[in-house]
């Protein structure tokens, strides 16, 4: 299990530590070993049976899903994965409950000590897409608040993600932000962003990396969830990163036109209902300065994947309380950018190697290769780890 390195991490007893390690290991087993076994079972049994009946191969993810549903390997994989997901959060609760008060005190002390501002909006209406479900089975979701100044949801997410990711997301879970911002800096050395915005930043783990990459920039993260933002603020302070956090809906940003050089998001759009995605991108276009860059790290679109891989990545939509995941991945990013106002010729997409996985030199190599897109080999589907992102220059 990954050990967070910042001062807000929860202290654990030996038993709690062992439990978290077990859950991390279980997830790694399910997502590596069992996933490989499920694929082999699909190739050997499910796909040939489909072909015999339909006289063709499955044409998309839903057809693969339908065909594999009764397969014993799939059923075992799915039930164990759902159980492991639940265990992630359950493994964090005991130390979190014990340290709830001390965490609040620590956050308060940090808030007054160092740079970086927090602005919450008690009047903001949290969208039902956040308030009405426990996304990826996280109890209470991002916005669950049970006492004043509550930041437990942020701690649950931070410590839970450390268990969940079994070391794949960098030292402090900031590998996506670090790899992508460093890639942009190396690929566009003349681009010097002064104002950077991260949408749906949660606990700011990937927001802070933009500040590390562009230290003189003013970096801000927004989210609708107050408990996560309180935690994000304290976490950034603990890491001595001067980043501002504001409670705001990405569909209605409270910034004037042409305010930012970079509008970024990571793992955000797949949790936004389809009807709101167009609004988010239109807002990103509006608040970007001419010459600015919009960039969204996401899971690759279904149209760029084989039917099996599309089914595999869409598993979360059916079994992990991620209702917007597949609808988002069925969209075409180029079209989304065009509809938001960006010129087709200004569209970009990259596959960025993970620095945590491949080391720093991988960024230089990717830049030399023009950040080539090979979308069959990103995220969980790749041999190593690579991050897919798309966007456009304004």
Rule CB under 6 A: which residues touch ligand SAM? 127, 129-130, 142, 176, 200-202, 206, 222-225, 228, 249-251, 266-268, 271-272, 276
Report in angstroms how near the CB of residue 286 gets to ligand SAM at its nearest: 15
Task: Retrieve residue 85's tokens.
Answer: 């997901």
Q: Does the CA dihedral 365-368-369-370 come out positive or negative? A: positive
* Parallel/antiparallel/unpaired status of strands 347-353 and 386-393: antiparallel
Task: Retrieve residue 6's tokens.
Answer: 């910042």
User: With respect to ligand SAM, which residue has the nearer C-beta, 57 or 137?
Assistant: 137
**225: nearest Cα among 103, 140, 283, 163:** 140
DSSP class of residue 227? H
Report in angstroms how near the CB of residue 173 gets to ligand SAM at its nearest: 7
Q: Within its chain, how far is the Cα of 373 from the centroid? A: 19
What is the rounded distance in angstroms from the CA atom of residue 22 to the CA atom of residue 58? 36
Residue 77, φ and ψ in degrees, nearest 5: -55, -50
What is the rounded distance in angstroms from the CA atom of residue 151 to the CA atom of residue 149? 6
Report in angstroms how near the CB of residue 270 gets to ligand SAM at its nearest: 8
Secondary structure of residue 359 in the 3-state scheme: coil
CA distances for 187 relative to 156, 253, 369, angstroms: 35, 29, 10
User: With respect to ligand SAM, which residue has the nearer C-beta, 172 or 237?
Assistant: 172
User: With respect to ligand SAM, which residue has the nearer C-beta, 24 or 202?
Assistant: 202
Report in angstroms how near the CB of residue 389 gets to ligand SAM at its nearest: 12
Asked whether 141 and 153 are in contact (CB, 8 A), the reply is: yes
**162: nearest Cα among 77, 95, 244:** 95
User: With respect to ligand SAM, which residue has the nearer C-beta, 67 or 138?
Assistant: 138
Asked whether 231 and 208 are in contact (CB, 8 A), the reply is: no
Report in angstroms how near the CB of residue 209 gets to ligand SAM at its nearest: 10
User: With respect to ligand SAM, which residue has the nearer C-beta, 38 or 389?
Assistant: 389
User: With respect to ligand SAM, which residue has the nearer C-beta, 172 or 249?
Assistant: 249
* Parallel/antiparallel/unpaired status of strands 288-298 and 386-393: antiparallel
Asked whether 218 and 211 are in contact (CB, 8 A), the reply is: no
Report in angstroms how near the CB of residue 74 gets to ligand SAM at its nearest: 25
What is the rounded distance in angstroms from the CA atom of residue 206 to the CA atom of residue 208? 6
Secondary structure of residue 296 in the 3-state scheme: strand
Report in angstroms how near the CB of residue 329 gets to ligand SAM at its nearest: 14
User: With respect to ligand SAM, which residue has the nearer C-beta, 222 or 362?
Assistant: 222
User: With respect to ligand SAM, which residue has the nearer C-beta, 38 or 161?
Assistant: 161
Task: Retrieve residue 23's tokens.
Answer: 């859950």
Report in angstroms how near the CB of residue 219 gets to ligand SAM at its nearest: 13
User: With respect to ligand SAM, which residue has the nearer C-beta, 58 or 353?
Assistant: 353
CB-closest chain residue to ligand SAM: 200
Report in angstroms how near the CB of residue 130 gets to ligand SAM at its nearest: 5
What is the rounded distance in angstroms from the CA atom of residue 43 to the CA atom of residue 35? 12
């Amino acid at each position: 299990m990954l050990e967070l390195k910042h001062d807000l991490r929860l202290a654990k007893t030996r038993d709690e530590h062992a439990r978290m390690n077990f859950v991390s290991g279980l997830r790694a087993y399910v997502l590596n070993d069992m996933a490989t076994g499920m694929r082999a079972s699909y190739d050997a049994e499910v796909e040939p049976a489909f072909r015999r009946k339909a006289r063709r191969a499955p044409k998309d993810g839903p057809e693969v899903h339908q065909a594999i549903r009764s397969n014993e390997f799939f059923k075992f994989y799915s039930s164990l994965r759902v159980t492991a997901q639940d265990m992630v959060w359950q493994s964090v609760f005991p130390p979190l409950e014990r340290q709830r008060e001390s965490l609040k005190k620590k956050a308060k002390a940090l808030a007054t000590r160092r740079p970086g501002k927090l602005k919450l909006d008690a009047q903001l209406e949290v969208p039902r897409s956040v308030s009405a479900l426990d996304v990826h089975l996280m109890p209470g979701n991002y916005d669950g608040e049970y006492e004043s100044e509550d930041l437990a949801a942020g701690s649950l997410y931070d410590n839970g993600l450390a268990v969940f990711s079994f070391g794949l997301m960098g030292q402090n879970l900031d590998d996506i932000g670090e790899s992508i911002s460093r890639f942009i800096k190396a690929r566009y050395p003349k681009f010097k962003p002064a104002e950077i915005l991260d949408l749906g930043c949660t606990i700011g783990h990937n927001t802070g990396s933009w500040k590390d990459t562009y230290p003189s920039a003013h970096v801000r993260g927004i989210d609708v969830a107050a408990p996560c933002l309180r935690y994000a603020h304290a976490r950034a302070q603990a890491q001595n990163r001067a980043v501002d956090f504001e409670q705001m809906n990405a569909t209605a940003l409270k910034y004037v036109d042409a305010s930012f050089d970079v509008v970024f998001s990571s793992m955000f759009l797949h949790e936004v209902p389809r009807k709101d995605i167009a609004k988010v991108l239109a807002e990103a276009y509006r608040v970007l300065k001419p010459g600015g860059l919009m960039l969204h790290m996401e899971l690759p679109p279904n149209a760029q994947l084989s039917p099996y891989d599309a089914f595999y990545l869409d598993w979360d939509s059916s079994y992990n309380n991620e209702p917007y995941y597949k609808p988002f991945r069925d969209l075409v990013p180029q079209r989304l950018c065009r509809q938001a106002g960006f010129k087709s010729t200004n569209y970009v997409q990259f596959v960025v190697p993970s620095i945590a996985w491949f080391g720093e030199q991988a960024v230089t190599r990717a830049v030399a290769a023009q950040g080539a897109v090979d979308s069959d080999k990103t995220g969980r589907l790749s041999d190593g780890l690579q991050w897919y992102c798309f966007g456009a220059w304004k």
